Amino acid sequence: MRTNETLITRAIIDRYFEKLKKTIEVDVAVVGAGPAGLVAAYYLAKAGRRVSIFERKLSIGGGIWGGGMLFNEIVVQEDAKHILDEFDLRANPYGEGLYTIDAVETAATLTSRAVKAGASVFNCISVEDVVMRPDRVVGVVLNWSPVEMAGLHVDPLSIRCHAVLDATGHATEVVHVVERKVPGKLMTPTGKIEGEQSMWPEKAEKLTLENTREVFPGLFIAGMAANAVFGAPRMGPIFGGMFLSGEKVAGLILKHLEEEAEGR
């Protein structure tokens, strides 16, 4: 069988647009494909929900790849060991209550398992705005990241969803949009983004989980974004809190979707 260049092009276009059309209306839009976003997407998709992940960069995995200062190992504490087991990640004990895992294996495995569970990943796509109806977030507004980087005037497209998860890390990209443009206040002490504090791993790991929650109707936060929004410290290359945050927010969103369905 002959395979020419036009057939290859047609195959890529047809299959991509099939995937894209399925994401116009989903249950959950996850913004940011770092550790918290990927773990959340996995558990949501595993529960049978329609999940799409939008990642600004070409690569998937957020801050996992570089480990600590390009030493591609990361640390996870005992509390999150069950998630490593769930993803079949090889964990090596180190000291009391800590494990090291290979950063490259982790990023690749989380991505693969999320996709195999049913989540769709769209890389090189930025979320530049949200859709409101009338006092809650009901969707996200998308554009190609290179369009944004080049400063081109190209109108975006939008999708609808029942919940948005901001897992964009330090940048808190979606929450920044909501704070700046949407009427009302965030569910923080000041009603605004509190801002990230300097590193304190032990405290930050605990607060990452505590701060994982709904921060505006229809908008949830997880991972480092949760700490940045609520004014907690950063934690560096220890990732147990990120994984646990992804697991927790998936549960919160599933409950939110069930309650929304009962109210319709």
* pLDDT recorded at residue 151: 94
Q: At what angle do helices 240-263 and 201-210 cross, to 10 degrees?
A: 10
Q: How far is CA 263 from CA 28, 60, 62, 94, 111, in A?
A: 18, 36, 36, 48, 33
Two structure tokens written together for 191? 């009603």
CB 107 within 8 A of CB 119: no
* pLDDT recorded at residue 140: 98
CB 115 within 8 A of CB 121: yes
Please return the burial class of 11, using the count of CB atoms within 10 Å of its CB with bins 0-12, 13-18 and 19+.
exposed
SS3 label, residue 166: strand
* pLDDT recorded at residue 135: 87
* pLDDT recorded at residue 235: 92
* pLDDT recorded at residue 262: 83
| CA count, 13 A, side-chain hemisphere, 103 | 20
**Per-residue tens of pLDDT for the chain, all 264 residues:** 667 899 999 999 999 999 999 999 999 999 999 999 999 999 999 999 999 999 999 999 999 999 999 999 999 999 999 999 999 999 999 989 999 999 999 999 999 999 999 999 999 999 999 999 988 999 999 999 999 999 999 999 999 999 999 999 999 999 999 999 988 899 999 999 999 999 999 999 999 999 999 999 999 999 999 999 999 999 989 999 999 999 999 999 999 999 988 876
CB 33 within 8 A of CB 39: no
* pLDDT recorded at residue 260: 87
- Domain 29-263: state its class: alpha beta
How far apart CA 264 and CA 259 sit, in angstroms, is: 9
Domain extents in the chain: 29-263
* pLDDT recorded at residue 264: 66
